[in-house]
Amino acid sequence: MSSRPQPAAPPSRGRPRTFDREQALDAAMRVFWAKGFAGASLSELTAAMGIASPSLYAAFGSKEGLYREAIERYVSSNVESFWGVMEMPTARESVEGLLRNAARAFSTPGAPPGCMVLQTATEGGELSPELADSLCEMRASNAETLARRLRRGIGDGDVAPGTDVRAVADFYATVHKGLSLSAKGGAGADELNSVVTSAMAAWAPLTQVGSDQA
């Protein structure tokens, strides 16, 4: 005896296309990195991410929400190399390591040039006050991190006690920013490393360390 035919299943409702959130965020990060917050249009972002604008808003809330996560992703991907050089044996090695790493990272073939965080310095008016303040703190943290490393160098004996720690930290933080700007302007790794070499030539007089220690 044949079984009674089963009723046909109701047609399934359409579902939004799923996407790899991490992969989409990586793509958005590169667009923001290359063009900045204001310069990156929604159409460029969604095209790079492979999603429609409703999916962008559903996943990230807003363009600024997406940018905030992209910045966090950029920072987290670079934090190990940044903090790693701060643990080198001397303050000089740490500072030079930071700048050499920057020269390499800011001019890596296939990646947008410069630093994603530093390039937002002129975009304050395009961002919410909260995000603008957060980015300002990120940029300022470079100088504070360098100052802490220099103070540790004084304690370790590789930086002279009379060194103007804040002035030296500000100087090398400014060099770091300059490397990003130069890379955005088209400078390659050789040119950036030449700048680092010149900047490190100032280490001995700035830290009052004799030439035999520099």
Q: Which residue has the higher pLDDT, 81 or 42?
A: 42
Is pLDDT above 60 for 6?
Answer: no
Check: CATH 1.10.10.60 for 19-70?
yes
Q: Residue ranges per domain, the chain?
A: 19-70, 86-205
Is pLDDT above 50 for 14?
Answer: no
Q: Mean pLDDT over residues 67-82, rounded?
A: 88
Is pLDDT above 70 for 210?
Answer: no
210, with CB counted inside 10 A (0-12, 13-18, 19+), is exposed
Furthest C-alpha separation in the chain: 102
- Please give the radius of gyration of the chain, using alpha carbons only, rounded to the nearest integer: 24
Identify the pLDDT of residue 214. Answer: 41
What is the per-residue burial (b if ≥16 Cβ within 10 Å, else e) of 142-176?
A: bbebbbebbeebbeeebbeeebebeebbebbbebb
Q: CA-to-CA distance for 81 and 176, rounded, in angstroms?
A: 15
Residue 127 region by backbone torsions, left for phi larger than 0, else alpha for psi between -120 and 50, else beta: beta
pLDDT digits (tens, 9 = 90+) for 153-169: 999 999 999 999 999 99
Do 89 and 189 form a contact (C-beta atoms < 8 A)? Answer: no
pLDDT digits (tens, 9 = 90+) for 19-37: 789 999 999 999 999 999 9
Residue 115 region by backbone torsions, left for phi larger than 0, else alpha for psi between -120 and 50, else beta: beta
Q: Mean pLDDT over residues 2-31, rounded?
A: 66
Identify the pLDDT of residue 135. Answer: 86
Mean pLDDT of the chain: 87
pLDDT digits (tens, 9 = 90+) for 85-117: 999 999 999 999 999 999 999 999 999 999 998
- 86-205 to CATH, choices 1.10.420.10, 1.10.3720.10, 3.40.50.720, 1.10.357.10: 1.10.357.10
Do 24 and 51 form a contact (C-beta atoms < 8 A)? Answer: yes
